[in-house]
Amino acid sequence: MAQSILFLLSGYEPTASAVAFSSHLLAKNPEPQQRLRQELEELVKEEGELTYQGVMETKFLHACVMESLRIYPPALFVDRTCTKDYSIPGTNLRMKEGDLLEIPVWSLHHDPRYWPDPEQFRPDRFLPENKVNIKSFTHMPFGMGPRNCLGLAVSESETLVV
């Protein structure tokens, strides 16, 4: 029972925040808002209504949500335990098995080395044709690997690649 409650609570707050921040960013940025509106109007025109499958296939909606999660990630950092000794190439830094590592998600998401104009809401970064420009492990709003968001893993495996 406790696991079920934790599952529900862990899914509710990040989802509510993502919707709120996405709405806020779209309200402040009329051009992406209009593009998203057109995408959804075309979807309704084609299918007669908004359907789950239709929404899952929207490219610009997905890009807007991913960009919102970049600007306002649900976790400011994630931590992991080092599983084996490792020396970071080109440095004198050495991690030992058992060391706790903290990954600064917010900092990665706002680093101009990886994101030109990092404070700007630019959903086009996440369109399929632009995903090749995203450096691996610089966008991880829910962490990466087997301990990332369960809901993200399901939706990503169906239609999208991050």
18 within domain boundaries: yes
* Helix/strand/coil for 78: strand
Split at pLDDT 50, 70, 90, the class of 158 is very low
Angle ∠(127,133,134) on CA atoms, nearest 5: 85
* pLDDT tens-digit readout, 32-63: 999 999 999 999 999 999 999 999 999 999 99
Please check whether residue 100 lies inside any domain of the structure.
Answer: no
How many domains does one find in the chain? 1
**What was the pLDDT predicted at 138?**
93
Specify the pLDDT at position 6: 74
Q: Is residue 99 part of a domain?
A: no
State residue 150's pLDDT score: 52
CA within 13 Å, CB half, 6: 4
Does 96 map to a domain? no
Examine the pLDDT at 28 and tell me if it is beyond 60. Answer: yes
**Which has the higher per-residue pLDDT, 117 or 80?**
117
| Burial bucket for residue 40 (CB in 10 Å: 0-12, 13-18, 19+) | middle
d(CA 55, CA 62): 9
Whether pTM > 0.85 for this model: the answer is no
| pLDDT score recorded for residue 122 | 98
pLDDT digits (tens, 9 = 90+) for 99-157: 999 999 999 999 999 999 999 999 999 999 999 999 988 998 877 665 555 555 444 43
Does 9 reside within a domain?
Answer: yes
Report yes or no on 94 lying in a domain: no
| Average pLDDT in the chain | 87
The stretches of the chain forming alpha helices (DSSP H) are 2-28, 30-47, 52-56, 59-71, 105-109, 150-159
Residue 46 in contact with residue 67, Cβ under 8 Å? no
Q: Is residue 30 part of a domain?
A: yes
Query: Which domain range does residue 62 map to?
Result: 2-75+105-159
- The answer to whether position 65 is within a domain reads yes
